[in-house]
């Protein structure tokens, strides 16, 4: 595994290869990231993983500062996975140049997390646009756990006619049902249990909604989540996952999208 901290030396190395399979991350690696990396390795191209906690996608400085970082452990895991390249850029390496391509931000960026984290998706698209320009990956592996993010990145790529292809990867879960997330490391045992109960509640509810749409009663669901131990709920909404229209009646392809807090820990998922 070769490690790069600046784009010049990275490009010198990777532009010699046949193409790159790229897995962008913010570190704090877990089973979700690992499954993306394993899929990337199957592509036969060289796998490049980045670790960059992007300050521009955090709407609160305190959240950026306290984001779980564990580079030592990450390095150990990545070595074991035998990835080809690791890119750990500085903020200047990423933001010290003007990208050629303008970011395209689909209007869906105003919904769900976009409503509650101002500037979040502008920050996400800004950084991915820069990574694409630096790396020119053939494939980019993204997780469905962050479905809205994945959708918006796809829209940007389509609109700007970028040649990279997005590979959608399924959500990996802990044994207790909750989606693996770097932020889970902040949950204590009791809080894990709350998150797990909320997951199963919503998982079962989705099955019932499929049969009887009137069960999608947002106020009741929010109350139930608070009773289960959530401290604040940003949203619980349903969307058809192909075109992101709200469903009005039973629709096989809909997912429940939700974001809530346990104490000050914000968790998002979709089922």
Give the residue with the Cβ less far from ligand AMP, 114 or 216. 114
The nearer residue to ligand AMP, 142 or 157, going by C-beta atoms, is 142
Among 20, 132, 157, 179, binds ligand AMP (CB under 6 A): 179
Residues touching ligand AMP: how many (CB under 6 A)?
Answer: 17
Asked if 172 is part of the footprint of ligand AMP (rule: CB under 6 A), the reply reads: yes
Give whichever of 236 and 267 is closer to ligand AMP, judged by the CB atom.
Answer: 267
Draw the binding track, 100-139, toward ligand AMP (x: CB under 6 A; -: no contact).
----------------------------------------
Least distance in angstroms from the C-beta of 178 to ligand AMP: 9
Interaction of residue 181 with ligand AMP, rule CB under 6 A? yes
Q: Can you give the chain as a three-state secondary structure string? A: CEEECCHHHHHHHHCCCCCEEEEEECCCCCHHHHHHHHHHHCCCCEEEEEECCCHHHCCCHHHHHHCCCCHHHHHHHHHHHCCCEEECCCHHHHHCCCCCCCCCCCHHHHCCHHHHCCCHHHHHHHHHHHHHHHHCCCEEEEEHHHHHHHHHHHHHHHHCCCCCEEEEECCCECCCCCECCHHHHHCCHHHHHHHHHHHHHHHHHHHHHHHCHHHCCHHHHHHHHHHHCCCEEEEEEEEECCCCCCCCCCCCCEEEEEEEEECCEEEEEEC
Q: Token pair of 30, please?
A: 């877990």
Q: Is-catalytic flag, 120?
A: no
Q: Which stretch binds ligand AMP (CB under 6 A): 24-32, 91-99, 201-209, 243-251?
A: 24-32
Residues 141-170 that bind ligand AMP (CB under 6 A): 142-143, 145-146, 169
Which of 14, 20, 36, 132 forms a contact with ligand AMP (CB under 6 A)? 36
Give the nearest distance from C-beta 34 to ligand AMP in angstroms. 9
Residues with a catalytic annotation lie at: 33
**Residues interacting with ligand AMP, by CB under 6 A?**
25-26, 32-33, 35-36, 142-143, 145-146, 169, 171-172, 179-182
């Amino acid at each position: 595994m070769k490690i790069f901290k600046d784009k010049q030396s990275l490009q010198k190395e990777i532009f010699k290869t046949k193409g790159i399979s790229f897995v962008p991350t913010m570190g704090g690696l877990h089973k979700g990231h690992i499954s993306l990396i394993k899929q990337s390795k199957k592509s036969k191209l060289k796998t490049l993983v980045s670790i960059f906690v992007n300050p521009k996608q955090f709407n609160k400085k305190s959240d950026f500062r306290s984001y779980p970082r564990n580079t030592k452990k990450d390095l150990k895991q990545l070595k074991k996975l035998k990835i080809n390249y690791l890119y750990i850029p500085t903020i200047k390496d990423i933001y010290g140049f003007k990208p050629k391509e303008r970011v395209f931000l689909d209007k869906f960026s105003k919904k769900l997390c976009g409503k509650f984290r101002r500037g979040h998706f502008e920050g996400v698209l800004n950084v991915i646009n820069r990574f694409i320009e630096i790396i020119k990956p053939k494939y980019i592996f993204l997780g469905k756990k962050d479905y809205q993010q994945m959708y918006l990145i796809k829209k940007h790529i389509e609109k700007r006619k970028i040649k990279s292809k997005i590979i959608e990867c399924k959500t990996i879960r802990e044994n207790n049902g909750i989606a693996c997330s770097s932020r889970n490391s902040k949950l204590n045992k009791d809080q894990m249990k709350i998150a797990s109960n909320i997951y199963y509640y919503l998982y079962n509810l989705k099955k019932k909604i499929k049969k009887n749409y009137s069960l999608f009663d947002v106020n009741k669901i929010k109350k139930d989540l608070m009773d289960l131990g959530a401290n604040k709920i940003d949203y619980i909404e349903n969307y058809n996952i192909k075109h992101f229209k709200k469903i009005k009646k039973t629709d096989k392809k809909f997912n429940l999208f939700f974001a809530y807090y346990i104490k000050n820990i914000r968790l998002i998922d979709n089922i």
